[in-house]
Amino acid sequence: MGNYQDEINKRRTFAIISHPDAGKTTLTEKLLLYGGAINTAGSVKGKATAKHAVSDWMEIEKERGISVTSSVLQFKYNGKCINILDTPGHQDFSEDTYRTLMAADSAVMVIDASKGVEAQTRKLFKVCGMRGIPIFTFINKLDRDANDTFELLDEIEKELGIATCPVNWPLGCGKGFKGVYDRQKECIITYSDTQKGTKEGESKTIPLSDRDACIEAIGEERFGILSDEIELLDGASAEYDLEEVQRGKLTPVFFGSALTNFGVEIFLNYFLEMTTTPLPRRSKGEIVDPVENDFSAFVFKIQANMNKAHRDRIAFMRICSGKFEADREYKHVQGNRNLRLSQPQQIMADSRTILDEAYAGDIIGVFDPGIFSIGDTICAPKDDIMYEGIPTFAPEHFARVRQIDTMKRKQFVKGVNQIAQEGAIQIFKEFNSGLEEIIVGVVGVLQFDVLKYRLESEYNVEIKLEPLPYEHIRWVVSSDTPLDKISGTSDMKKIVDLKENPLLLFINAWSVGMVLDRNPGLELSEFGNM
């Protein structure tokens, strides 16, 4: 068990979350630079000839400069094995982010120093709060003009209801950005602009006690401001407390500029000191220990057509306990069968390495012939483990999908079903209509564009989307009345999902209450289970 425990203890698995444009993908790239996983970082925005960010692999992402699906990236740094889950920032793809957070042990929240806490930050933070995930904050873009630092911290505390503990402190911003002050080591680390996309850059570390050297480096005025700010900080900010961080009640805060690569390595070193080894998970109310238990994992993401040459589907699994070995048989709990996990691989965006082994904390991709669903548990054949399902979020936008060429029905059905199994869209059928029409529900309207784009580029099928006016969906949890006998309102529509589960669509929120009043014994839910 010795080697086994050592391997698991080296793992750190975290998700990076942010509002769009806060610099999350750029920060991810720079972290990969330090792990030697890539040699030059690609900027997300840029001309057609520019190198694209490693974590954005889908064609539509490269065209639009946004992340629409989460990526999994693994690298080694200072004796640790780091698994980064890079998530889409855009709110229209937040469901993918929610599921990804289920596979992480902590989250790094990236905030734009000139914008502070934004709408999507609040939403993502809520999910972390629901799961009690430790959050580390990286306040980015200090190379540009920024809001007052104390006001930024105050905003995080008020808006997100979490205490802040600055680990370092910025010395100015924009053109006057001089570096950061490391509170623990009581020294200043000076900033000099680095060549974009490289990790080389000059930065000096000067102890605060060496007043003359500090003044020479950052100027007398900035040194005076820093001395006052340190005094204020020591009196006002929360003390660093690892237990509070792990309970999700305190966030360590770091400052820097991912674009110019300043403060990223400082952050990475502290982050690895402060984060934990893989956390235990719950199965049927029991704790599953990462080291003591045999192999177990759950599927948190399914992605089709990552590799156009192979047209394959990959199921991403978070290993929760034990060691994965490629030549062993495992139990697929929901499928009630034993199987070997086919083509196990470590994935770096769209490039892959076949694996022989992996450990608790790692994310692996396996070939999925269409048997896995999001939320499925895989474990050793003799174990009785089943991890909690991942909730599906209620779609807020609906459209009827029609294919332009009816001769391509087979490709159309296959494409829509595969994309639905990834959890990017939800598909429904009219109840008892006899029509083969499909209704698609999405959390954000941009997902309609992605559906259209992917059906055309991956399945060679053109579609037309007709928006529907419904905004509210409810799963029928239990009812004394069959679906066809439920007394509805004029704005209600009866539908079923792929598993023939009954659902109701409404245009107006108040109709939900009216339908409940009219049908005693009817129970409705805003969440389904994957």
Q: List the CATH number of the domain containing 322.
A: 2.40.30.10
**Do 144 and 264 belong together in one domain?**
yes
What's the gap between Cα 292 and its chain centre? 28
**Do 170 and 80 belong together in one domain?**
yes
**Do 30 and 139 belong together in one domain?**
yes
Residue 349 identity: A
Residue 327 identity: D
Residue 248 placed within a domain: yes
**Do 250 and 359 belong together in one domain?**
no
Residue 219 placed within a domain: no
**Do 269 and 285 belong together in one domain?**
no
What's the gap between Cα 286 and its chain centre? 26
Residue by residue, DSSP assigns 200-254 as -----EEETT-HHHHHHHH-HHHHHHHHHHHHHHHHHSPPP-HHHHHTTSEEEEE
Residue 199 placed within a domain: no
**Do 332 and 298 belong together in one domain?**
yes
Average pLDDT over every residue of 239-264: 90
- In this structure, what token pair is assigned to residue 467? 């928006």
What's the N-to-C CA distance of the chain in angstroms? 35
Averaged pLDDT of the chain: 82
Domains contained in the chain, number: 3
Residue 216 placed within a domain: no
What is the domain range of residue 105? Answer: 11-175+239-274
Q: Is the CA virtual torsion 176, 33, 85, 265 positive or negative?
A: negative
Q: How many CB atoms are closer than 10 A to CB 485?
A: 9
352-387 pLDDT, tens digit each: 778 889 999 999 988 888 888 888 999 999 999 999
**Do 84 and 164 belong together in one domain?**
yes
- In this structure, what token pair is assigned to residue 69? 């699906």
Q: Which of 103-117, 351-365, 446-460 has the lowest mean pLDDT?
A: 446-460
404-442 pLDDT, tens digit each: 888 888 888 888 887 777 777 888 888 876 656 789 888
Q: List the CATH number of the domain containing 514.
A: 3.30.70.3280
Nearest residue to 250 (alpha-carbon basis) of 258, 259, 241: 241
Residue 197 placed within a domain: no
Q: Which of residues 356, 379, 402 is at a domain's end? A: 379
Residue 468 placed within a domain: yes
Q: Supply the pTM of this predicted model.
A: 0.76
Residue 163 or residue 481, greater confidence:
163
Residue 382 or residue 348, greater confidence:
382
Residue 233 placed within a domain: no
**pLDDT recorded at residue 202:** 64
Placement of tokens 């939800």 in the chain: 426
Phi, psi at 379, each rounded to 5°: -150, 180
**Do 438 and 308 belong together in one domain?**
no
User: Is the pLDDT score of 83 beyond 70?
Assistant: yes
Q: Which of 162-171, 191-200, 331-340, 344-353 has the lowest mean pLDDT?
A: 191-200
User: Is the pLDDT score of 188 beyond 90?
Assistant: yes
Contacts of 93 (CB under 8 A, 6+ apart): 67, 68, 69, 424, 443, 444, 446, 447
- In this structure, what token pair is assigned to residue 51? 């190198």
Q: For residue 348, name the pLDDT band (cuts at 50, 70, 90).
A: low
Residue 3 or residue 402, greater confidence:
402
Residue by residue, DSSP assigns 73-131 as EEEEETTEEEEEEE---SGGGHHHHHHHHHT-SEEEEEEETTT-S-HHHHHHHHHHHHH
410: left (phi over 0), alpha (psi -120 to 50) or beta: alpha
Q: Which of residues 274, 296, 331 is at a domain's end? A: 274
CA distance 154 to 237: 10
**Do 290 and 357 belong together in one domain?**
yes
Residue 4 placed within a domain: no
**Do 36 and 167 belong together in one domain?**
yes
Q: Which of residues 348, 379, 410 is at a domain's end? A: 379
Residue 87 or residue 48, greater confidence:
87
**Do 264 and 366 belong together in one domain?**
no
**Do 259 and 285 belong together in one domain?**
no
Q: List the CATH number of the domain containing 22.
A: 3.40.50.300
